[in-house]
Amino acid sequence: MISGIPAVLVGAGLLLLFMLLGMPVFVAFMLVNLIAVFVLLGPPGFGMLASSFYETTTSGSLVTIPLFILMGEILFRSNAVDVLFRSMDELVGHIRGRQYVLSIALATIFSTLSGAAMGVAAMLGRSLLPGMIARGYDPKLSAGNILAGASLAPLVPPSVLVIIIGTLAGVSIAGLLVAGILPGLMFACLFLLYTFIRVRLNPKLAPESETTDREVTASDKVMAVVRMLPFSIVIISVMGFILMGIATPNEAGAMGVIGALIAAAIYRRLNYRMVIESVGSAAMISAMILIIMASSKLFSQLLAFTGGASALTEWVAAMEYAPWIMLIILMALPFVLCMFIDQIALMLIIIPIYKPIIEILGFDPLWFWLLFLVNITVGGMTPPFGYTLFALKSAWTEGSLMQVYGAAWPFVLLFLFGMVLLAIFPVLATYLPSLL
Amino acid sequence: MTIKQSLGLANVLRWHDLMSRTFYQLGIFALSSIVVIYSYEVISRYVFDSPTRWASDFVSFLLLITVFLVMPWLTRAGGHVAVTVLNDQLPERGRQVMLRGGYLVGAAACLCLGYIVFLETWRLYERGTGTLTTVSIPKWLLFALICYGLFNSGLYFLRLAAKCDVTESAEES
């Protein structure tokens, strides 16, 4: 019987092969599990396959996934996009490069509301980017800002990827959700700082003066804030209730859905058809994610059964490298793989392998898994295969893929710089969770 | 195939879609119920100081119900995520062959696993096993839904392989 590290290599190798052949990710997991159970346990082991589906889809912590998705679906159908767009446009003052600020702010807010980097990149690529270029803004810097802002989606709560990591790694989901707030803001500030420095060094990157349709008065700015107030209902319903200890992440997810419905009612978009479409779409996306998770459950159990996970842990423990070298090694693998493989699929393969290793290394789990989350997020916008790049390219028809690649690289480096800051100052990730 | 045979097949496919759509709508109802139950739980705990004993159990059952009732409709729409890096590099004909092959493998995996879950469901039914939750229900009921989701997805993968036009079916849905 194959066991130890070869078992891990064969299992992960088969999985990657099936995925690269274009099979649906959940089918790849099911096939590998079927083959592995047949080879290792024979037909008596098939009951484990059935049970793994049951255990995953009745897991209480995963209920948050459809609830967060539903919240985003309702908000996107409730005029939220138009309101945010108009309000932020009025709030950003007359500074040189104001549209860059607008693009980062909008991408960050939409990412917070939707949790989907690809969706935000595509939407802003279609709506904001052409206007920016027409007004004389640098196409690459504009596209880069949108890509980077959109890529904050998995980091800023509410985030579906956080729920998946928390569940698989056995880390507090509430803690991990809250841990993403400060790093998310830090990254947004880094992008703004970088953009301002670039504009300062090369003023041609932004037009000297922008003519707006009309002068924005102080009362316009107050109204812009008032218009955005309904979103605070959603934010309080989710993060407020978790931070105050009133609701679990699951219950906060349900409260967030109620908050989103109230926001839709305030914007006069609440109707039966909108609600049904939102729930239908959320059910489809949730089923897609959860069926992958259910199919992959047995994979991690088989890793343990073959002794692969423990052999790998012992091997890593015997390396005796300095912890920071181990951290770089552990981060390099998902960074590279995420350019080729779907983020969720990658997490399902890697987290069960990494979990015992980080225990041996003595890393703070919240800090490590947050770094891991940032890492796979960057993988999604790293050339040549990052998914978010293709989403932006498909929306930005005038731009070439090489332009998108060129736009992404500076921000990938900024993300890596931010990761170094997070690694050196773990308090950025652990301070807010320590208040819970 | 004669006209009569193809009309018969079209009718079967229509009934298949109708059944799957009905179960999909039940899945939507299950997801809506999760929101209602959790909202009720928060209100009854903090407003009336009387938390329920059943809310978390029911919600976990409803999550399973949502996933496996919606799964076939998702398969019909070609909505499962796949890594298409290699496929995208192929010429159109090669891409179609890869897609069709992927659907056939998907059908085989789903039908095979559906059969395994069916055997487990039958075993649970014969033993009368209940769920290990505060509010216990027969476990085979939930396993039967897993069985439905896998079998029906297998059938839709077969239909996709025969038609092999994902975008069309996705637009239809």
B-interface mutation test, from A16, A38, A41, A58, most B Cβ less than 10 A away? A58
Residue A212 has pLDDT above 70, yes or no: no
Q: How far is residue A182's CA from residue A99's CA, in Å, rounded to a whole number?
A: 24
Considering only residues 41 to 100 of chain B, which have any Cβ-Cβ distance to chain A shorter than 8 Å? Answer: 41-42, 46, 56, 59-61, 63-64, 66-68, 70-71, 73-74, 77, 79-87, 98-99
Min Cα–Cα distance to chain A from B106, Å: 6
pLDDT of residue A84: 76
How far apart, in Å, are the Cα atoms of A32 and each of A12, A75, A300, B117, B149? Answer: 9, 38, 11, 17, 20
Cβ within 8 Å, pair B60-A254: no
Q: Choose the weakest-confidence range: A140-149, A215-224, B137-146.
A: A215-224
Give the distance from CA B88 to its chain's centroid.
Answer: 27
A334-375 pLDDT, tens per residue? 887 776 666 777 788 888 888 888 888 889 999 999 999 999
Q: What share of chain B is helix, strand, coil (3-state, %, to 5)?
A: 80, 0, 20
Query: Along the 173 residues of chain B, how does pLDDT read in single tens digits?
Result: 667 667 788 889 999 999 999 999 999 999 999 999 999 998 888 888 888 889 989 999 999 999 999 999 999 998 887 877 788 788 888 888 888 999 999 999 999 999 999 999 999 999 999 998 888 999 999 999 999 999 999 999 999 998 844 444 444 43
- In tens, the pLDDT along A260-283 reads 899 899 988 899 999 999 999 989
pLDDT computed for residue A237 by the predictor: 80
| Residue B138 CA: distances (Å) to CA of B61, B121, B141 | 11, 10, 6
Half-sphere exposure of A297 (CA within 13 A, CB side): 19
> Can you give the pLDDT at residue A210?
60
Q: What is the pLDDT of residue B171?
A: 41
Q: What is the pLDDT of residue B43?
A: 87
Which residue in the block uniquely carries the two structure tokens 């209730």? A241
Min Cα–Cα distance to chain B from A255, Å = 6
Of the pLDDT bands very low, low, confident and very high (cuts 50, 70, 90), residue A203 is: confident
Q: Between chains, do B38 and A253 touch, taking CB under 8 Å as contact? A: yes
Choose among A70, A283, A340: nearest Cβ to B70. A283
Q: Greater confidence, B45 or A4?
A: B45
CA torsion sign for A201, A203, A206, A210 is positive
Q: Is the pTM of this model over 0.90?
A: no
Mean pLDDT of A246-253: 83
Interface test with B, best of A63, A258, A261, A289 (most B CBs within 10 A): A63
Q: Supply the pLDDT for residue A209.
A: 61
Q: Enumerate the residues of chain B whose CB falls inside 8 A of the CB of residue A47.
A: 116, 120, 123
A34 CB neighbours in chain B (<8 A) are 109, 112-113
Residues A409-419: tens digit of each pLDDT: 999 999 999 99
The rounded mean pLDDT for chain A is 84
Q: pLDDT-based confidence at A297, cuts 50/70/90?
A: confident
